[in-house]
Structure 1
């Protein structure tokens, strides 16, 4: 296993990692000789935590981005029935596949370059939620296109991927912590329709920061 040495991790990072990556915070605890997350918080209120962090590779995923005018319009949709963490406009995307930590992206890129597809129409249509309207944890917009489903099948087949759940394309709007049920009932009935033409999908790198995830394009793959 590769390591990065002498990394300085401030308190805000420890809190962020506690919320988003249990394995990392456990690794921090073991290597720093700290036995609990609360001890990490106490220690880092007045100190930086100098530890050796296992090399994690890159967090990669495949997605389709929105036209800028659509992303801007969606960012202005009021989500008043819900409290929680809203996805930032620049992070809007339609999911294709999440790889997680990848040590070497080159084989993935090489395989994706062999996939042939034509530009296709796609519809963003209707508000929905995971796991239920009574207790939503994620609010999203539905995504509909038989051509998108076909592209997903090509990607899964080419990369020999295994997926533990059916593919449900969607556009995440918010991760919800609290809901006004009465207002939410009306919200989910609100019509929304945004068709556009998809000509590319992209491989993204996700970087975790104290302010939230930041996405950057590794490579675009366009219709041909």
Structure 2
């Protein structure tokens, strides 16, 4: 099982994000139904590992919050971009939740995440496009903003590859309580 923990997005947020998905030749755009904010990629695990993770995630207590999407950008390796993303405005509540999830994942025996957390929604994957070629895309979409959207739960997903692409299957949902 290939697992990850994420914030699912409501349909209106996914529609707004899907409107950003054009204008970059060769981009592999993420399917609209798969748009989400990844909190922790877990990777391959067996049924027992998934059950242990589920129990730990179920013990997390964190407040609900409003999520506002803002801006677009890219992750790169040197001069080459590999991921286009939409950002999260005021990501502190997302980072707070992510830190709680990270503690659970490490207690379940997985290695700690070494990369710095950056709250975002992946819009597309790129095959090492020179970063300078993304200037026009970024410039025409830099003012993007959508939300706030109420985040009242987070989800454990399984990533399944099929003949028609990748599908994310929700395995368990965990409530966030209260409003901040």
TM over 0.5: yes
Q: Which runs of 4+ in 1 moved over 6 A?
A: 180-183
Q: Is 1:163 aligned to 2:113, yes or no? A: yes
Please give the alpha-carbon distance, in whole angstroms, between the structure 2 residues aligned to 1:88 and 1:113.
28
C-alpha displacement of 1:67: 1.1
Contact 1:82 1:180 (8 Å CA) reproduced = no
Per-residue deviation, residues 120-161 of structure 1 (Å, max 9, x unmatched): 122211111110695221111112321111111111123325
Which of these two proteins has the greater Rg computed from alpha carbons? 1
TM-score (norm 1): 0.68
Compute the RMSD of aligned alpha carbons. Answer: 2.1
Contact 2:70 2:86 (8 Å CA) reproduced = yes
**Of residues 67, 70, 73 in structure 2, which corresponds to 1:128?**
73
Q: Is 1:69 aligned to 2:12, yes or no? A: yes
C-alpha displacement of 1:109: 0.8
| Unaligned 5+ runs, structure 1 | 1-57
Per the alignment, residue 152 of structure 2 pairs with 199
More strand by share: 2
| Unaligned 5+ runs, structure 2 | none
Please give the alpha-carbon distance, in whole angstroms, between the structure 2 residues aligned to 1:163 and 1:150.
15
Per-residue deviation, residues 88-134 of structure 1 (Å, max 9, x unmatched): 00110101001111112111111111111111122211111110695
Please give the alpha-carbon distance, in whole angstroms, between the structure 2 residues aligned to 1:152 and 1:78.
26
**Of residues 151, 154, 168 in structure 1, which corresponds to 2:100?**
154
1:41-80 to structure 2, matched below 5 A, reads 58-80=1-23
